[in-house]
A and B are shown apart, each in its own frame.
Chain A
């Protein structure tokens, strides 16, 4: 009895001190993150300034040599250009499609649950497996898209798209780039659409009713009332999609491995090829660090947008 009371009161002292308890509850998560995010982040900077490889793991300081070496290669320019082209092109298409999709889901129609399920599938499926489906759809010999094009007379001898029976989507520079963009659009439009939909459904219905009473058309209500109200959400959705495309390795890894030649080799793929396949850990880390400044800008933009939402 007395032991019980003593233990209880000792616990009470601990658990009623909010600051101490708050610290104790937060500490495990913070320590874990410092050890496995903070430390690797510092290490990656250290790596990029050293000559570490898979074979020789000692860190000898070489200054900016790695950055100098990677920026001098033709692959670097191409990787930077590709990364930005893929990201901006996919993002613009995603925003247009996601807007249409979100508005579509605010309407009533039959089979809405099924449509919702089908639209979410690309986002729910592990990216590598979804991309595998596209790899087979875009196959150089057995693509059903080629078959359809031949049937409707767009592909084949004496047709618009040329004499071959196959377009070889992943083997030609521009088609391969387009394919990568297509897969990004396919897998991320659902995510952006559901975020926009959440924004649209949270709009006060009275505002819309009032505008309708005043005689505004559906399109005008959308452009002049709804769109401005969901701009912050759209900004967050875009920034998320931006980060996901910008840093993605999977789509290129599964679809083209950076090929043909190195025409779809984005920064992430190149960092992987150099750092792990090639064993040059230092150069791989240096390439990956090119993401950091852009991500920092994106993070600041997201924070500012969120704060603006909280203020209004």
Chain B
């Protein structure tokens, strides 16, 4: 009994400790968002309290006096286009690897996996030259064209595993009924793969939201920046930090993405562990 109690206390202490560690920067962001300059920049003030009444001025500044809304719009645009390109290329490729490619299918999917491990830092300098040669530098299209190089290999890998787990009999029955291979795929396999496709959409979209190196290098016009680079680079002017607006900008993005991640966690993990763990 006493031992049980000690265990409970230990468990809850661990939970609270971890939650605090991971959430601390976000709590600090929220607190900072609503502070006045006078409150924030007085060293004698207790930084954990509102010494002045909370204010919404900083949010107003962020939304009306900076490019923040533009950054969000750019990110949504890039994200949506990259999701579409990724789905268009990765769905057929994944099916091909799962069903149609014979002996070289396995080698091709190992190749896909290796490409997925090539980090942007290795490619950004030559890609920069290619982007310039294509005349895409300084436009969002540079990102729309380059991001699928990161998302397609992973998505193809994920979807190949997904399609592979659907029983072959289902398609074969449909083909006996007179469907072609392609319509058996679109009418039988695709509807059964909705959750895999959703995982690809979530993964692809959040990756475009997170990506930093390409966004920093290929796009330098302030109005064309996306959220991950726009906020830390454009909202800091020289050595002047608008901390309240910066923190607001960060937490406004963090919370919705966090909610989406919690909802799709199990599928994302299955993808990352490459089906090594069957959930």
Binding site for B on A (CB under 8 A): 11-12, 15-16, 18-19, 21-26, 28-30, 32-33, 36-37, 39-41, 43-44, 47, 57, 97, 100-101, 104, 107, 109, 111, 113-134, 136-137, 141-142, 144, 147, 165, 186, 189-191, 194-195, 197-199, 201-202, 232-233, 236-237, 240, 243, 247, 249-250, 253-254, 268, 271-272, 275-276, 281, 284-285, 288-289, 291-292, 295, 298-299, 302-303, 306, 309-310
Give the residues in chain B near A147, CB-CB below 8 Å. 46-48
A276 to B126, CA, bound (A): 11
Are B126 and A285 in touch, CB under 8 angstroms?
yes
- Can you give 10 A-B contacts (C-beta < 8 A)? A30-B93, A40-B126, A43-B126, A104-B14, A117-B259, A120-B261, A124-B257, A195-B273, A233-B277, A288-B121
Main secondary structure of the interface of A (DSSP, over half): helix
Among A12, A117, A147, A249, which residue has the most Cβ atoms of chain B within 10 A? A117
Nearest-neighbour CB distance to chain B for A17, whole angstroms, equals: 8
Give the residues in chain B near A289, CB-CB below 8 Å. 122
Contact of A39 among B93, B125, B130, B269 (CB under 8 A): B130
Nearest-neighbour CB distance to chain A for B98, whole angstroms, equals: 10
Are A133 and B212 in touch, CB under 8 angstroms?
no
Given contacts A57-B129, A253-B216, A285-B125, 6 further A-B contacts (CB under 8 A): A124-B254, A125-B250, A134-B25, A202-B278, A271-B121, A272-B217
Give the residues in chain A near B14, CB-CB below 8 Å. 100, 104
A312 to B28, CA, bound (A): 47
Are A29 and B123 in touch, CB under 8 angstroms?
no
Chain B residue at minimum C-beta to C-beta distance from A269: B121
Are A119 and B228 in touch, CB under 8 angstroms?
no
Nearest-neighbour CB distance to chain B for A242, whole angstroms, equals: 11
Are B258 and A288 in touch, CB under 8 angstroms?
no
Nearest-neighbour CB distance to chain B for A290, whole angstroms, equals: 10
A18 to B184, CA, bound (A): 13
Nearest-neighbour CB distance to chain B for A47, whole angstroms, equals: 6
Give the residues in chain B near A292, CB-CB below 8 Å. 122
Contacts known (A198-B270, A291-B122); A121 close to B23, Cβ less than 8 A: yes
Nearest-neighbour CB distance to chain B for A235, whole angstroms, equals: 10
Nearest-neighbour CB distance to chain B for A96, whole angstroms, equals: 12
Nearest-neighbour CB distance to chain B for A172, whole angstroms, equals: 19
Give the residues in chain A near B46, CB-CB below 8 Å. 147
Give the residues in chain B near A107, CB-CB below 8 Å. 11
Closest A-B pairs by Cβ, 4 of them: A22-B100, A133-B25, A43-B126, A25-B92
Contact code string B252-279 (vs A, CB < 8 Å = 1, else 0): 0111011111100110011011101111
Are B119 and A26 in touch, CB under 8 angstroms?
no
Are B246 and A126 in touch, CB under 8 angstroms?
no
Contact of B18 among A19, A41, A119 (CB under 8 A): A119
Give the residues in chain A near B168, CB-CB below 8 Å. none
Chain A residue at minimum C-beta to C-beta distance from B128: A276
Among A191, A250, A303, A309, which residue has the most Cβ atoms of chain B within 10 A? A250
Residue B114 lies at the interface, judged by CB distance under 8 Å to chain A: yes
* A-facing residues in B91-135 (Cβ within 8 Å): 92-93, 95-97, 99-102, 105, 108, 110, 113-115, 117-130
Give the residues in chain A near B102, CB-CB below 8 Å. 19, 22
Contact of B246 among A43, A104, A136, A233 (CB under 8 A): A136
Nearest-neighbour CB distance to chain A for B121, whole angstroms, equals: 5
Residue B64 lies at the interface, judged by CB distance under 8 Å to chain A: no
Give the residues in chain B near A190, CB-CB below 8 Å. 22
A41 to B255, CA, bound (A): 36
